[in-house]
């Protein structure tokens, strides 16, 4: 007989855990994670953001804060900026020094970030996963009950090929899919206002329909989004009426609607060959 897997224990005080993943790097997954967390916070929710991309932590830069966290009574106190509680390996191992770790150390770090950080009372803990379908997603699936996952892709066929793998990976580890976000969907030319489909058109929506997954919308290739991330002032800190910020606030609304749906109905599982 196979040994029974240990129960997935919830994190005390955390009501919903949302994992944001992608099949490949370079699609703006962390940008989506950061701005989604900030948009949820702007909607009045209590939000934490966990940077689970241990090998390439970018959340300290994008959230404009980077100092060592403090310990209190054997718990790690998360840092906070813009009203969002934060934890990242970048706070512990700053600078350009790489982490050369094998799987067990990675699993231990994720466990510490989940269980030994004093997250307090949160409506949402958004977890920015590393790209691909490796150890971290499996560790999360085995450790805590995930409310749902979001897969970030671009419209290009190369990105979509890997996005489909990410969708099937979440299904295989029994994590419900909240939906697919198509990032860098188009560029608005600054002079003419013309829409330019840099990486193709409509691939994310077609993939979502084919795989029976909700499509959470398109996000433009917006220079202001890049500037906000590089400067530590993400666009979702701007009012929801701002044209650069509005798409992320709309995304947060759709994600919350999907969370409510997923909690009231069992997910349909369709695994492609």
* Full DSSP string of 238-272: S-TTSTTTHHHHHHHHHHHHHHHHHHHSPPPP---
Angle between helices 29-42 and 223-231 (to 10 degrees): 80
pLDDT of residue 147: 95
Q: How far apart are CA 227 and CA 50, in angstroms?
A: 22
User: Is 232 domain-assigned?
Assistant: yes
Contact residues for 170 (Cβ-Cβ < 8 A; gap 6+): 19, 21, 137, 149, 151, 176, 177
The token duo for 17 is: 């855990």
Q: Give the CATH number for residue 163.
A: 3.40.50.300
User: Is 272 domain-assigned?
Assistant: no
User: Is 37 domain-assigned?
Assistant: yes
pLDDT of residue 208: 95
User: What pLDDT tens digit does each residue of the chain (273 aa) get?
Assistant: 444 555 678 899 999 999 999 988 889 999 999 999 999 999 999 999 999 887 778 999 999 999 999 988 889 999 999 999 999 988 887 666 665 556 667 778 888 889 999 999 999 999 999 887 777 777 887 789 999 999 999 999 999 999 999 999 999 988 999 999 999 998 888 888 888 888 888 889 999 999 999 999 999 999 999 999 999 999 999 999 999 999 999 999 999 999 999 877 654 444 454
Written as one string, the DSSP assignment of 184-226 is S--EE-TTT--EE-TT-SSHHHHHHHHTT--EEEE----HHHH
The pTM of the full predicted model, rounded to 2 decimals, is 0.91
pLDDT of residue 148: 95
Bridge partners of 49, per DSSP, are 86, 126
User: Is 2 domain-assigned?
Assistant: no
Q: How far apart are CA 63 and CA 80, in angstroms?
A: 9
User: Is 186 domain-assigned?
Assistant: yes
**Pair 51, 94: CB distance under 8 Å:** no
The token duo for 90 is: 């970048």
User: Is 271 domain-assigned?
Assistant: no
pLDDT of residue 98: 60
Reported as half-sphere exposure (CB side, CA atoms, 13 A), residue 101 has a value of 19
Domain around 145: 17-262
The total number of structural domains in the chain stands at 1
């Amino acid at each position: 007989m196979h040994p029974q897997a240990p129960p997935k224990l919830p994190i005390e005080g955390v009501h919903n855990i949302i994992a944001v993943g992608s099949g490949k790097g370079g699609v703006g997954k962390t940008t989506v994670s950061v701005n989604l967390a900030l948009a949820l916070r702007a909607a009045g929710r209590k939000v934490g953001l966990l940077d689970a991309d241990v090998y390439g932590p970018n959340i300290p830069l994008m959230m404009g804060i980077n100092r060592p966290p403090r310990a209190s009574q054997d718990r790690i106190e998360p840092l906070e900026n813009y009203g969002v509680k934060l934890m990242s390996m970048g706070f512990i191992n700053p600078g350009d020094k790489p982490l050369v770790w094998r799987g067990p150390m990675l699993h231990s770090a994720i466990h510490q970030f989940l269980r030994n950080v004093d997250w307090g009372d949160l409506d949402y803990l958004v977890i920015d996963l590393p790209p691909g379908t490796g150890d971290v997603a499996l560790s999360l699936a085995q450790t805590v009950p995930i409310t749902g996952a979001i897969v970030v892709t671009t419209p290009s066929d190369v990105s979509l090929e890997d996005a489909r793998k990410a969708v099937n990976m979440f299904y295989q580890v029994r994590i419900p899919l909240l939906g697919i976000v198509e990032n860098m969907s188009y560029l608005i030319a600054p002079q003419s206002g013309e829409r330019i489909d840099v990486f193709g058109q409509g691939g994310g929506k077609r993939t979502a329909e084919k795989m029976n997954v909700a499509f959470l919308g398109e996000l433009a290739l917006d220079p202001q989004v890049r500037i906000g991330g590089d400067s530590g002032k993400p666009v979702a800190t701007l009012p929801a009426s701002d044209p650069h910020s509005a798409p992320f606030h709309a995304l947060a609304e759709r994600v919350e609607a999907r969370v409510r749906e997923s909690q009231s109905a069992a997910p349909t599982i369709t695994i492609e060959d």
